[in-house]
Amino acid sequence: MKDIIRSIASLPRRQKQIVLVLMDICVLPFMMWLAYAIRLARPNVEVMQGLDGWYLYVGIFGILIFALLGIYSAIVRSFNEDYLLRISIGTFVQIVALYAIKKLDVAFIPMSIPLMYGFMLFSYMWWSRAVIRYATIKTFAKKQTRKRVAIYGAGLAGQQIAAALNRSDDYLPVCFIDDKKSLQGQSLSGLKIYAPKRAATKFGKFAIEEVLLAMPSVGRARKKEIIESFDSADVKIMELPGVTQLVDGQVHVSDIREVDIIDLLGRDPVPPKPELLEKNIKDKVVMVTGAGGSIGSELCRQIVKNQPKLLVLFEMSEYALYSIDRELQSSGIQVIPILGSVTNQAKLERIIAQYQVQTVYHAAAYKHVPLVEANPFEGIYNTSIGTARSVDAAVNQGVETFVLISTDKAVRPTNVMGASKRMAELYCQGLAATSPKTQISIVRFGNVLGSSGSVVPLFKKQIAQGGPVTVTHPEVTRYFMTIPEAAQLVIQAGAMGTGGDVFLLDMGEPVKIVDLAKQMIRLSGFRPMDENGTGDIAIQFTGLRPGEKLYEELLIDHEEVQTTGHERILKSFEKHASLDMLQPIFRQLDNIKEDQKNLEWLLNQLEYFVDGYNCRKSVHIH
């Protein structure tokens, strides 16, 4: 039997349609005879008396109606509500046609025959297609076991994905979970709806492997609560994308994805203020240094959305520059890719003058703490000297706005990377006091999710390999923000500056890295291993790396801070050195030779100028 089904299913589309038409054209007259036989209670009946060749009329007319409604052009395996509606309309048209024939006395038709024929016709069309679909699915079904899924959310999205999963070879919907008490205990699409707590007790009994969040419009805070409520269950959490990503309003199996780690933040982004986004960008020439980096590239994406006159990409890495340039070519904005280092002030000034740059976002810097700790001279040169030359170039060429992208690691740093960034901040603050024509601002924030070197991709890779997941210390805590939100806030903060401002982005609540690791393990459907060795994936503590802090902070002086017109942006007032004090030091840093004696001098200068920094004897030259 399976061979016959396979041979028919392998026919060209046109031939399969012909098979269906031939089948229907034979069955429709038979059902008309059956209606008369049942009505008159005898098999030997004269059907549609007065109309010779009635069977041709019944068969051909029925086929034409169904053909016009697209019954034969639809794929039987996609049997759904729309298909049933078309069958219903076709059946109704034929019932009306039979009554019209009776009314016109074309043929003898008892009053009950049209309804009886219509009922049998609809039943045949429905069940014949359902049987074809069932037989085809069973014949071609994959041999592997389908994943058993509980769907959280019995709304429209949940119903659509349940129907899609039933048609798939990979998933089997088992039940719904919903918070609404009015729905709990009811059945929907043949699946029972459970309360969240009751459903959790059924996971083992029903052998549920995954929970699918089918709530495209729910906020991050609520989604985080739901995810955490399944912490004790050995299930993988999946989700459907947001409503803005479901463009056609339909849900498909291909839409299912892993829960975005962003949702672990539990914080919904604040809508940006258009006037702040546009102030330094719209119809202006904008340059981004470090344009190929995590923050730099996202800044570029946000900038082109706000219609600059021209965007200059300044980047040291050839591949990073190539990638962001290629991505932005379809934006409709003229993009100029420039390969170069921010330590080359002459080139910076030439580019700024050539394209008449009005706004500069300086994102170029080294950011990996252990690497900079092992290469202190390069760290100082690229971050501190590079920033000084960039802001000097901007001031010399009359740039209107210069925004330095800084980091929370610049606050009371324990490493060269943070100290070099604070030196860059001090230089910008000092220069801002003497250069009123160029508005210089500093925007400071913490870690961004998904950036190069972030713990998130590292943890994902380690979990996929079966562990262990490596965390430096049980108490290490960091602030996190998504890259798009950080880039938008940087642009808005830069538009609020008046000169020498230090803006702080509200990073939300700090997150323990070990908690982040445990949550990611649970989302993957595994259990973190406890002290007794019970669980699936171990968490291994490797010890703090050179220069690494347990806690990061955004403020040097918690009292000298004020709110701004944006709820996620604060303004800090911090002491800073004069430009006259800093310029000689920067000139010496520029010309310093790499040896142990000069390393000691370098660290002493960082200790003198940067609050909270202490010389570390462990720092050495590579």
Q: Mind telling me the catalytic residues?
A: 409
CA distance 61 to 70: 14
Query: What Cα–Cα distance (Å) separates residue 4 from each residue in 10, 72, 135, 136, 558?
Result: 10, 20, 11, 11, 78
430: Cβ–Cβ under 8 A, 6 or more apart, which residues?
Answer: 576, 577, 578, 579, 581, 582
Structure tokens at 262: 């962003």
CB under 8 A, 24+ apart: contacts of 111-120: 112/39, 113/35, 113/36, 113/39, 116/35, 116/38, 116/39, 117/31, 117/32, 117/35, 118/91, 118/92, 118/94, 120/31, 120/34, 120/35
Q: How many CB atoms within 10 Å of residue 222?
A: 14
Indicate the residue type of 371: L
CA distance 428 to 583: 11
Q: Is 502 left (phi over 0), alpha (psi -120 to 50) or beta?
A: beta
CA distance 338 to 344: 12
155: Cβ–Cβ under 8 A, 6 or more apart, which residues?
Answer: 214, 215
Query: What is the chain's percent helix, strand, coil content, to nearest 5?
Result: 50, 15, 35
Q: What is the DSSP letter of 172?
A: E
